[in-house]
Structure 1
Amino acid sequence: MLKDVKAFSGYSVDSLQTAKQFYSEVLKLEVSENKEMPLLNLHINGSSDVMIYEKPDHKPATYTVLNFPVEDIESVVSELKGAGVNFESYDLPQLKTDQDNIMRGNGPSIAWFKDPAGNILSVIGA
């Protein structure tokens, strides 16, 4: 019944305008505004669009809502840091990031950061 549909995901933010600026200007994604409803669509090559909607009582997700697989995680992290993105640091038994804010050696290399609404995003080394 659903196996042949093109599914998409979405999540909330506290401000569509702030989200639009971050996703389009900082992350350099193609972003469009829906004219019928107040929401944004992130257009990511090779992926389904991601829908972002404003929610007055928004609470940031406590898990990763969007992952970006990248070929060279070190250069992407460095470039995003140069654009003002702050990466998360973790020091837990199964989740430790290094001085570059990248977790290595426990599966794929991953670096986590937050959007302005506090939702967790990541870049994952391919």
Structure 2
Amino acid sequence: MPLSDFPLRASVAVSDIDRAVAFYEGKLGLPVLRSGPSGRIANGSRVYLSGGDAALNVYQSTTAGTSRATLATWYVEDLEQIVEQLTGAGVEFCRYEGLVHDRLGITARAGGGRIAWFQDPDGNTFAVECDD
């Protein structure tokens, strides 16, 4: 069987699972599918649902926030609505030098469409994107 036959899930390291729970559940509104251990931390991980399936593993680790790349992207239909909703929940959107952002922090995406980036408390970068 080829690897493409299996589901893919993003995994993100965080430095403090309690702070991460406040962000991912409180600000992003992601529902928890299950929680469990992470290394020697008894309740140090969460699996979150998105799009109707398990989509994101969050686990406490000393490697938290070490990647500067976008770790996961949500593909949405109404980008402005999602950005405004997240901003209202306390999520701050990134503005990058050399890119033109609108008042919400949305910018044109290379190859078409629009995108906005935000970070969790550890500096892990995520995006919301639409094709219009």
| Pair 1:6–1:96, CA change in 2 (3 A) | same
In structure 2, the partner of 1:19 is 20
Q: Which has the higher strand share?
A: 2
Q: Distance in 1 between matches of 2:36 and 2:97?
A: 43
SS at match of 1:67: strand
Unaligned 5+ residue runs, structure 2?
A: 39-43
| Pair 1:47–1:67, CA change in 2 (3 A) | farther
In structure 2, the partner of 1:125 is 130
SS at match of 1:23: helix
Matches within 5 A, 1:1-126: 1=1, 2-37=3-38, 38-92=44-98, 95-104=99-108, 106=110, 107-126=112-131
Q: Distance in 1 between matches of 2:7 and 2:85?
A: 32
Q: CA deviation at 1:17?
A: 1.0
Q: CA deviation at 1:28?
A: 0.8
Q: Which runs of 4+ in 1 moved over 6 A?
A: none
In the alignment of these two chains, the number of paired residues is 124
Unaligned 5+ residue runs, structure 1?
A: none
Q: Percent identity?
A: 31
Alignment root-mean-square deviation, CA? 2.0
Q: Distance in 1 between matches of 2:63 and 2:9?
A: 23
Q: Distance in 2 between matches of 1:36 and 1:86?
A: 29
For normalisation by structure 2, the TM-score amounts to: 0.81
For normalisation by structure 1, the TM-score amounts to: 0.84
